[in-house]
Amino acid sequence: MRLSMMLFKKNLIIAFSLLFTVIFSQERKRPVTLSIKGDFTQPATSVIFPEFWAGFQRESIQSYDPQNKHIVVSYVQQITKKNKTTLTLYLYPKKIVDNQLLRDNFEAYHYVLYQNSNKKTNLKPSFGSLSNDNAKVNYAYSIFDHALGERDFFKGVKFTDKSSLLAIYECGTWDFKTRVSSDNMTKAQIAELKEKVENYFGILDIAAKNPLPIENVPDLRLSPIVKRDSMMTKATIAAAEAKIEWMKNNLEKKEVMTGFNDMKIDSEVYSIEKMIEFYKAHENDWTMQESTKNYFSEMIRIADNGRIKDYIYDKYKGLIDYQEGEGKEEDYNQFKIDKVISTTTNEILYSLFYKTQ
């Protein structure tokens, strides 16, 4: 029974690790466990992972490539047999960084939690930033309750209520993520642990040493749906250019170099306003498909009624920094019915990205 339980937990850690490396090309066919005593220094970033830290003991180091660039480090704090806290740290380089990546990772993790729980998990996002003279790192996180499935000899799978944390940081060309699962910690204690991790493991140093190539303009990837006619294509390009312009004019260099910071709703508002402005200026310049006319007709109704921020919150399922959004959900849903706003307005039209390797 002990062996099967260990294998279940190991497979769960591997599953979460694979989730967080969708765009990272693994060189190993499967991760290997590094046999290391004492401190482990990750070669590429110089981040030190001690064998013992803040009351935790290092349990394992999983490596996904021969250079040990992509690693998952697990720590455990065992108070009693039934009171255990697991801390898992993910560190790996990214080949591509785009403005949707932080949001996609957060949403994908929510899906995995749903698949591994017998209760609904409310992974409500919060947003924060870390800053010093050299870098400013934005991140999304959630402290939440979760019923974790663990293999049990008698029940097959036993679900245990845990207090949990997910935190995802934009560290330039690298990703750093923290996951906590605890039987006994309060939410305040988990928040304190999050801050200890941020300070000790040098998230700002990782970002400062591995900046995005901001001397270059980001590349643009258009969704296939916008290529249906010239208006949709050109208006979408205008929206993307407006987002780049907003970032240039409103963010410090030390912030832009760590990520696209796309959780800031003002950049999306500006982008949408410029897209609508472009459409109105060129409405009669090109032949449009009916679907394009309908799309802009709906977007104009949203803008004219002052609902752009509510629209963005709905489009990204709450994964945007807009504190008033949750309280306006019911009202906005009624607005969509009254003003005939279809789900097609929620399609992602483009992404901005840097190739980093």
- pLDDT, mean of residues 83-92: 96
d(CA 335, CA 329): 10
Cβ-based neighbours of 222, under 8 Å, separated by 6 or more: 233, 236, 237, 349, 350
Q: Phi first, then psi: what are they for 245, rounded to 5°?
A: -60, -45
Beta-strand ranges (E) seen in the chain are 32-33, 40-41, 48-49, 52-53, 56-63, 71-78, 84-93, 96-98, 126-131, 136-152, 156-171, 174-182, 219-222, 350-355
Per-residue model confidence (pLDDT) at position 157: 66
pLDDT-derived band at 13 (thresholds 50, 70, 90) equals very low
Q: How many residues does the chain have?
A: 357
For 41-50, what is each residue's pLDDT tens digit? 999 999 999 9
Higher pLDDT, 110 or 273: 273
d(CA 278, CA 117): 46
DSSP 3-state assignment of 46? coil
Q: Which amino acid appears at position 237 of this protein?
A: I
For 315-342, what is each residue's pLDDT tens digit? 999 999 999 999 999 999 999 999 999 9
Tokens linked to 16: 């979460």
Per-residue model confidence (pLDDT) at position 155: 57
Q: Phi first, then psi: what are they for 5, rounded to 5°?
A: -65, -40
Cβ(131)–Cβ(141) below 8 Å: no
pLDDT at 19 over 90: no
Cβ(173)–Cβ(356) below 8 Å: yes
- pLDDT, mean of residues 151-159: 61
Question: Pick from 201, 321, 212: which is nearest to 258 by CA?
Answer: 212
Q: Which amino acid appears at position 304 of this protein?
A: D
Per-residue model confidence (pLDDT) at position 8: 37
d(CA 289, CA 231): 9
Helices 308-315 and 265-281, interaxial angle, to 10°?
110
